[in-house]
Amino acid sequence: MGIPYSKKCYVIVETPQNPYNTEDPVSVRETLQSWDVDGAFLSYNQGFGERDRFYEYYSALEDYIENLGFIVNTFGRYFSDYTTTACTTGEDISGWINPYLIYKNGINFDSQYKNMLDNLIEYLNRYPLGEGMVLFDHVRYPQGNSYCPNCSVQTWQNRIYNITQATSIVKSYISNNANISTQSFGGVLHPQRNPTNNTCCQAWNVGQAYDDTKGITRYLGFVAVMLYTILREDYIQWMFNLAKNGDSYSGYSTTGTNKELLILLSTYPTTYNYYDDLQIVINDALNYFEGVVFWEYQSLKNNFGGIERY
């Protein structure tokens, strides 16, 4: 996949738990170096557990890959068995952390969650100020197979408000204890709106996510806009404009964000649906976005031949 040097290019590396089967750490390092990426995000999954061989991969990459960051499972599974309802239509999300718990109780709502953040902070403090990066994953909500449920507008507003407050709390805890600046925090935002059908709850902007005064982007330095379903080229431009320039619908409004906007593209089989070859999608996206994040390393290498800069 050709990526110009004028745009940023990041790759998410999953530790080798099923089903990713990531190759050995030295091979990953050498390949990333040959691709000349601008950085990589290493997934720790269950909180830097050795069963995921996290430290082995981190050690292989830390002195060789510039801008080595961490993708953080902010509201996902692994910390306890929570059950929450996505919205009034009753989608049951078993195992996903309800952001309201963090909003009301802080990071101490679960000792495993706090330990995960403390472990992350230890790794961040290995870097000089400004060199560590954190990408909050699973910030999008709801989860599971219902990315755009038939919720009321008020339900979406409350849900995204809780996410915003929880993200602020997590980000503040990390910032207060680690050598990291606000510009080094990013978030994966899932913008699952249909540009031809506004009955899809307006998703993120009903919750006022892309707004640097009251939204999630207030607490971030960059956003990875997760577009795994792109059925038409104009959807890319439409989504970019929504995030950048703001939006309004039925009594709510957003101002948009001035933070760095990257597009997050999947290369993992069965997880994406693009209107054309991946290279065409990349070229179209980079007409608007400032760079691309690929999920994930092994499928990018095996199925698409990796990255070539020009």
DSSP state letters, 175-226? HHHSS--GGGEEEEE----BTTBTTSTTHHHHTT-SBTTTSGGGG-SEEEEE
The residue type found at 95 is: G
pLDDT tens-digit profile of 149-207? Answer: 455 656 666 777 888 899 999 999 999 999 898 999 999 886 554 444 444 444 444 44
Residue 121 has pLDDT above 70, yes or no: yes
Phi first, then psi: give them for residue 288, nearest 5 degrees.
Answer: -125, -50
Residue 13 has pLDDT above 80, yes or no: yes
Residues above pLDDT 70, as percent of the chain? 76
2-309: in CATH 3.20.20.80: yes
Beta bridge partners of 264: 226, 293
The domains of the chain are located at: 2-309
